[in-house]
Amino acid sequence: MWVQNYTLFIMAKEKTLYVCTHCGQDSPKWVGKCPSCGQWNTYVEQVVRKESPVARHGASILEPTKSQPLTLSDIHGVEEPRIHMHDEELNRVLGGGLVPGSLVLLGGEPGIGKSTLILQTVLKLNDKKVLYVSGEESARQLKLRADRISNETSNCLIVCETSLEQIYVHIKNTRPDLVIIDSIQTIFTENIDSSPGSLVQVRECSASILKFAKESNTPVILIGHINKEGSIAGPKVLEHIVDTVLQFEGDQHYMYRILRSIKNRFGSTAELGIYEMRQNGLRQVSNPSELLLTDEHEGMSGVAIASAIEGVRPFLIETQALVSSAVYGNPQRSATGFDLRRMNMLLAVLEKRVGFKLAQKDVYLNIAGGLKVNDPAIDLSIISAILSSNMDVAIDRDICMAGEVGLSGEIRPVNRIEQRISEAEKLGFKRILIPKHNLQGLDTKKMKIEIIPVRKVEEAFRALFG
């Protein structure tokens, strides 16, 4: 009788929880507003199977554990060798390579090229045994894609599986050096009565994979989808669990793709990699300035060249503006690749500090090439392109600029001005507008490009338009 009762006690029990789709917070009952993130109507019902503490741990919490607390002086920090991915853009974004035992999450829109990027990367790792777990495509589809993007033979093992328990069996049998899971939304564990892709399944599977990666020192790359808001699908706790979050973005109508680092415990989050989508896969773009600049706008108004920096890489981009009279009652404001609120602030500076009346004008702004730039140093080129389109006066092709615009109309200094100037000089520009404060400590004797320091927006306009 005691054995029967004990068996019933350790059996799994079903439990219903309400989970927030925004942050992953769970509650025993439905609530209208999430107490964790403050979002409304985000709780959905999930049926989970919760095990008792005896079945889960099988031991008392008072028993001695394997790990012991140590002081920082007793912990020996050793710089582990990173895995070279044979992709300079990916290595830069990861911080120098893939760290053993790390969990990397690669997110992006459907069809943007996530699987192509990972597959063409692992096909180059001839010295590593890679296990590619596909939950979305068949082995024949992966074979056709691999033949299209690469002719090399590698130690990449392909398995089509969605059960987490079976994936661990394959890992135990093959003992790979790197594990790829495509995608995390298709993986499910049999311990939870829920459909694959649900919040509980994504959270539990990710936590289990993280434990495996840390204990076996095997790096794991997860591929994840994003929702309509642009964030990675699943609970927000998924991004907190992993070590690195990479965002693969770009417009499907453009050939450029950008790999950004949103979170990185082993490197900088300011890095980005640029790829060009081709028929045979993704090509690394080592010098994006030559591809982002064109000569087709010679003599046309509304185009200004900005010297921007993303991560450690300087590159020159075209900022295009179109100003026209408002056809309807309310003027239209539109920005592609640039923050619309910041553009409205720059328009207010032009009207208040410089005296240009743009309240009844439609203003359209575009960053050429489909890029999304957050560098404040392109403010000067933004207002220059807007003013050039408003007056219908073209800016000289051999001049570029870099500077942040303040609310009082001053040109504020920007960082790493020497790299911006050298990039403009390398691409053949003859003049560059920089903030006057950046001249302090700058050696201009060795530079062949003419440097024009400006302190106010009016000075920059006089240098551009006379």
Q: Per-residue pLDDT tens for 304-360?
A: 999 998 877 788 999 999 999 887 778 899 999 899 999 999 999 999 888 888 888
Q: Which helix (H) or strand (E) holds 263?
A: strand 256-264
pTM value is 0.72
Which of the four pLDDT bands, split at 50, 70 and 90, describes residue 148? confident
- 181-185, 248-252, 433-437: least confident range: 248-252
DSSP symbol at 61: T
* Residue 255: pLDDT over 50: yes
Strand partners, 275: 257, 284
* Residue 63: pLDDT over 50: no
- Measured CA to CA, the distance from residue 84 to residue 156 in angstroms comes to 16
Please list, in sequence order, all residues whose beta carbon lies within 8 angstroms of the beta carbon of residue 390, skipping any fewer than 6 positions away: 323, 356, 358, 361
Which of the four pLDDT bands, split at 50, 70 and 90, describes residue 58? very low
Q: How high is the pLDDT of residue 236? A: 67
Supply 95's token pair. 């911080």
Does residue 401 sit in helix, strand or coil? strand
Supply 197's token pair. 């892709």
Higher pLDDT, 228 or 373: 373
Q: How high is the pLDDT of residue 110? A: 83
* Residue 231: pLDDT over 70: no
Which of the four pLDDT bands, split at 50, 70 and 90, describes residue 36? confident
- 151-155, 195-199, 362-366, 455-459: least confident range: 151-155
Percent of the chain predicted with pLDDT > 70:
87
- Measured CA to CA, the distance from residue 214 to residue 210 in angstroms comes to 6
For residues 82-102, average pLDDT:
90
The angle, 0 to 180 degrees and rounded to 10, between the axes of the packed helices 139-149 and 114-122 is 70
Strand partners, 232: 226
Q: Measuring CA to CA, which residue among 135, 227, 125, 234 is closest to residue 176?
A: 125
Whether 181 contacts 222, CB under 8 Å? yes
Q: How high is the pLDDT of residue 235? A: 57
How many CB atoms are located within 10 Å of the residue 270 CB? 15
Which of the four pLDDT bands, split at 50, 70 and 90, describes residue 65? low
DSSP symbol at 443: -
* Residue 155: pLDDT over 50: yes
At 187, the amino acid letter reads I
Residue 270: φ, ψ to 5°: -95, 0
For residues 386-391, average pLDDT:
93
DSSP string covering 325-377? E-SSSSPPEEEESS-HHHHHHHHHHIIIII----TTEEEEEEETTS-----GG
Q: How high is the pLDDT of residue 234? A: 57
* C-alpha radius of gyration, the chain, whole number: 27
DSSP symbol at 429: -
Q: How far apart are the first and last CA of the chain?
A: 98
Supply 364's token pair. 């359209």
Whether 335 contacts 365, CB under 8 Å? yes
Q: How high is the pLDDT of residue 222? A: 94
DSSP symbol at 272: E
Across all residues in the chain, what is the average pLDDT? 84
* Residue 270: pLDDT over 90: no
For residues 90-110, average pLDDT:
91
* Residue 61: pLDDT over 50: no
Q: Which helix (H) or strand (E) holds 97?
A: none
Q: Measuring CA to CA, which residue among 230, 162, 195 is closest to residue 45?
A: 195
For residues 164-177, average pLDDT:
93
For residues 128-151, average pLDDT:
89
For residues 14-30, average pLDDT:
80
Percent of the chain predicted with pLDDT > 90:
40
Contacts 24+ apart (CB under 8 A), 291-294: 291/256, 291/369, 292/316, 292/317, 292/318, 292/368, 292/369, 292/371, 293/317, 293/318, 293/427, 294/318, 294/368
